[in-house]
Amino acid sequence: MEPVQLTIDGVQGATDEASRPLVLRMPHEGDLPRIAEMFTDPAVIANTMVPVPWPQADRDAYVERYRESWRQGWPRWMIADAETDDVLGMVGLRAEGFGAEIIYQTAPWARRRQVALRACHTALRFTFDELDVSRVAWGAVTGNHLSRLIALRLGFTMEGISRHGIVQRGTPTDIWAAAMLPGELRDPADPPADYPLMRRRAGVFTGEQPRLSTEHSAVTLRALTEADIEPLTETGQDPVILEWTTLPRPYRLTHSEGFVRDIAPKAWREGDGAVYAIADGDDKYCGTIEIRLHTTDPYEGDIGCMTAPWARGRGYMTAATRSLIRYGFDALGLERIVWHAHAGNAASIRVAEKAGFVAEGVLRNGVRHFGEHRDLWQGSILRTDLENP
């Protein structure tokens, strides 16, 4: 296949740099300094398999690789500004199973101009129109929320997580996996339902997990650290915690290590929620609280927590809960947050009610607890409850 050059109009109605037209073209030797600069960007390094540093041999072969891709029937383009010819990124297709896979990168100086969205849409339209392709796959390192947002905007359907789906500079790494079939490419002017919420959360989870203040002067919420492993283990072995939670029995140091090093950061990285340590004035661990996003209703979440035995009776958990409620509504865009507690866990129910949750009833046999069913108290708080107290 001979290379084909494509032009892309600016975004209609845009007044910023998104209004500038783009061109998908073959690379040339003059592009290499800008490409090398792009490959030093921390976001490109974190989310791609580009070697660090970029080897001279790869640089020397870069333009030829594009020619070879076209010869094999797979289009690959540089994305450039149609007016200045400055490099803005790349987009292309490669063989994947019985179909193709789309790949793209955006230069840091080209972000927030809808460059990737426009380039990928044009590349996908060309692929379905000109190539005998019945499926296009997409993949991104988990945590690359902005790439995932573009995929959803284009019409890709998320299919799950491929565990250790790639090897990134010697490290097996999980990737999100999605696919698109013919007829599923969305018009750029027709975003999916709830797209503003998707965009808000992509921005939140792309950043570092924030530290949250509370109404209690001695309490803050922060991400878990290595220093929390031992007190977390002690908390998990407390008889009260074991009575009212489904933590593993016996609760061991290895469970805390896995929670702090893998489970908690994974929730933030994948955008499923946020796990916090409740810290006192000396930044010592006093409990855990987390907010989890509902898997089917994007506007609902739930809160779970446990208090360390040495921190009970001080109002720490109520303050932490109120802070996380506000974060769920203001930052994550939730409209409803649910609280569950074993029906006999009076302390947990009391915290929920003090924080503003309204009792909704008891779910009979609502939870399985080490071989037996238990009733589950349920309460909720709505965004409007805070707006109209």
Its pTM stands at: 0.93
At 384 the three-state DSSP class reads helix
Can you give the pLDDT at residue 146? 96
**Between helices 115-130 and 145-154, what is the axis angle to 10°?**
50
Q: Is the pLDDT of residue 164 over 70?
A: yes
Q: Which domains does the chain have, with CATH numbers?
A: 6-195 (3.40.630.30), 212-387 (3.40.630.30)
Can you give the pLDDT at residue 98? 84
Q: Is the pLDDT of residue 73 over 80?
A: yes
pLDDT in tens, 210-242: 999 999 999 999 999 999 999 999 999 999 999
Asked if 220 and 212 count as a contact pair (C-beta separation under 8 A), the reply is: yes
CA–CA gap between residue 91 and residue 249 (Å, rounded):
50
Q: What is the mean pLDDT of residues 73-81?
A: 97
Q: Is the pLDDT of residue 389 over 70?
A: no
Residues 6+ apart with CB under 8 A from 129: none
Q: What is the mean pLDDT of residues 31-42?
A: 97
Can you give the pLDDT at residue 201? 98
Q: Which of 45, 83, 41, 87 lies closest to 66, judged by CA?
A: 87
At 7 the three-state DSSP class reads strand
Which burial class, exposed, middle or buried, applies to 109 when counting CB atoms under 10 A from its CB (0-12, 13-18, 19+)? middle
DSSP classification of residue 208: P
pLDDT in tens, 338-369: 999 999 999 999 999 999 999 999 999 999 98
Q: Is the pLDDT of residue 13 over 80?
A: no
Can you give the pLDDT at residue 15? 66
Can you give the pLDDT at residue 12? 75
Can you give the pLDDT at residue 343? 95
Can you give the pLDDT at residue 137? 98
Q: How far does CA 62 lie from the centroid of its chain?
A: 31
Q: Is the pLDDT of residue 158 over 90?
A: yes
Give the neighbor-by-neighbor strand order of the sheet with 99-106: 6-8, 22-25, 76-81, 87-96, 99-106, 136-141, 171-180, 157-168
pLDDT in tens, 283-326: 999 999 999 999 999 999 999 999 999 999 999 999 999 999 99
Selected residue with higher pLDDT from 371 and 340? 340
CA–CA gap between residue 271 and residue 292 (Å, rounded):
9
